[in-house]
Amino acid sequence: MPRENEHHDFGSCDRGRCYGRHVSGDRAGLDGRSCVMGVRFVSATANEVLDSRSRPTLAVHLLTAEGRGFSAGVPSGASTGSREAVELRDGDDARYGGQGVLGAVRNVNEPIAELLTSRVFESLEDLDRAMIELDGTDDKSSLGANAIVGVSMAAARAFAAADGTPLWRFLGPADGEPRMPVPHFNVLNGGVHAANDLDFQEFMIAPLGAPSAAEAVRAGSEIYGHLKSLLRERGHEVGLGDEGGFAPEIADPADVLQLVADAIEGAGYTAGRDGVAIALDPASSEFEKDCVYRVAGRDRSSDEMIDYYAELVDRFPIWSIEDGLSERDRDGWRRLTERLGERVQLVGDDLFVTNPAIVRDAIADGIANAALIKVNQIGTVTETLETLAVCREGDYAAMVSHRSGESDDSFIADLAVASACGQIKSGAPARGERIAKYNRLVEIEALRARE
Ligand SMILES: C=C(OP(=O)(O)O)C(=O)O
Ligand SMILES: [Mg+2]
């Protein structure tokens, strides 16, 4: 499978510090500094706040015995996989049309807070396993994945701080080396993320050839700006979708691809793997029924969709396709992987839901060649790191991802750097909740350069 992103380490640095998931004595002494023996939390609280779509989500706050506070904002998807960990919503029509999260907030403030303050936790894994046990279900539907993941993310920050290690290093494997990821900017939105008639959900630009994260962000911004001018010139609207990409009324994915390729070239970049390539997330589970896919008013079978992707890959500088086929079309996925797996990255999102066991099965089955990594799909940071490890061991690529509903939390930028997976997607290079992640990447790059 293609691994263009492997060439795009925007610089690496590892001073052999005591880092990783376990904040315990067994990692002590790599640089002559001992690690703390655990973290004692004195409080865990959550509030109901709004996400980028104006829907309720949770902000979580933890306080340690040393008086240090750690927070996290919980993301939320719209095109969700059926096997994702369950996001708890109140289901009470009087508030936010039943979409409130006061139940999940209560679960943080009461049972989870009681657990967290009951003892010292040796490691993030120790704490995450304890929450999973307290929840007691396979899909985290009792306490809510939204409650658990917020605590897990904030706790990861607490363990990293206790260890004196930046999050972008702490979340990496014990023997790993951080690496800057290539940002994938979603510049044109469709599907359930936009009010237009475009069936494909995401058209991303990936500056694979950029020499640094800062230069990649610059390319993303310049191309985004050029795309806006092109849309205006060609008589389209420039309203935005949920992830900050433009959402014009263009139904044919090939027309959009041409427009994006023109924007890349028009902004002065080379369209292709040496410069700025294109990545697609059709999110096809949303337009598939009984393995029939309806795109721009035309029905296609799985095999016809595979032919269609092959034709698009021939015509345009596409390097990655996510959820090209539906989560219900496993046989189709096998054929898609056989046909295109050597030419492009094939990413499973709805198909894998960041679940280590599901990804392990797919690797054994030869389905797809990469996994999308969304922390709230599985519900704890520990399990997310396990999925990343499964990908590494199985030689599958991985792309760390935001959700379409976001907060300004930049956790995933640190996760992408620490995991060394080489790829991140966080929407358009615009809007606060999206650029929080890209700006954090640039900040991490600068911090590493100063080390
Ligand atoms: C980011 C995505 O969208 P959502 O968060 O709606 O699942 C995606 O499908 O990759
Ligand atoms: Mg997706």
Q: Tell me, what's the pLDDT at 282?
A: 98
Q: Which residues are annotated as a binding site for substrate?
A: 193, 202, 322, 349, 401-404, 425
313-371 residue pLDDT tens = 999 999 999 999 999 999 999 999 999 999 999 999 999 999 999 999 999 999 999 99
Atom of ligand 1 nearest to the CA of 427: 1
Atom of ligand 1 nearest to the CA of 425: 1
Q: How many CB atoms lie within 10 A of CB 362?
A: 24
47-92 residue pLDDT tens = 999 999 999 999 999 999 999 999 999 999 999 999 999 999 999 8
Percent of the chain residues topping a pLDDT of 90: 91
Q: Is the CB of 406 under 6 A from ligand 1?
A: no
Mean pLDDT of 109-125: 98
Element (H, E) at 36: none
Say whether domain 39-164 belongs to CATH 3.40.50.300. Answer: no
User: How far, in Å, CA of 101 to CA of 283, rounded?
Assistant: 26
Mean pLDDT of 177-193: 98
pLDDT band with cut points at 50, 70 and 90 for residue 31: very low
336-348 residue pLDDT tens = 999 999 999 999 9
Q: Tell me, what's the pLDDT at 37?
A: 76
Residue 22 has pLDDT above 70, yes or no: no
**Residue 277 pairs with which residues in a beta bridge?**
206
Mean pLDDT of 94-110: 97
Burial of 299 (0-12, 13-18, 19+ CB in 10 A): exposed
Q: Is the CB of 76 under 6 A from ligand 1?
A: no
Residue 4 has pLDDT above 80, yes or no: no
Q: Is the CB of 426 under 6 A from ligand 1?
A: no
Distances (CA, A) of 171 to 83, 305, 359, 429: 25, 38, 20, 25
Atom of ligand 1 nearest to the CA of 201: 9
**ipTM score here?**
0.99
Q: What is the 319 CA–ligand 1 centroid distance (Å)?
A: 19
Active-site amino acid positions: 243, 374
CA angle 276, 281, 286 (to 5 degrees): 165
User: To which CATH superfamily is domain 182-449 assigned?
Assistant: Enolase-like C-terminal domain (3.20.20.120)
Q: Which is nearest to 424 in space by CA: 184, 178, 179, 74? A: 184
Q: Tell me, what's the pLDDT at 36?
A: 54
Q: Where do the domains of the chain lie?
A: 39-164, 182-449
Residue 384 has pLDDT above 90, yes or no: yes
Q: Tell me, what's the pLDDT at 8?
A: 43
- The amino acid occupying position 397 is A
Q: Could you give the residue ranges of the DSSP H alpha helices within 316-380? A: 330-340, 356-365, 375-378
User: How far, in Å, CA of 305 to CA of 324, rounded?
Assistant: 8
Q: What is the 165 CA–ligand 2 centroid distance (Å)?
A: 31
pLDDT band with cut points at 50, 70 and 90 for residue 27: very low
Residue 20 has pLDDT above 60, yes or no: no
Q: Tell me, what's the pLDDT at 355?
A: 98
Tokens 């998807």 map to which residue? 77
Q: Which residues are annotated as a binding site?
A: 193, 201-202, 281, 322, 349, 374, 401-404, 425
Q: What is the pTM of this model?
A: 0.93
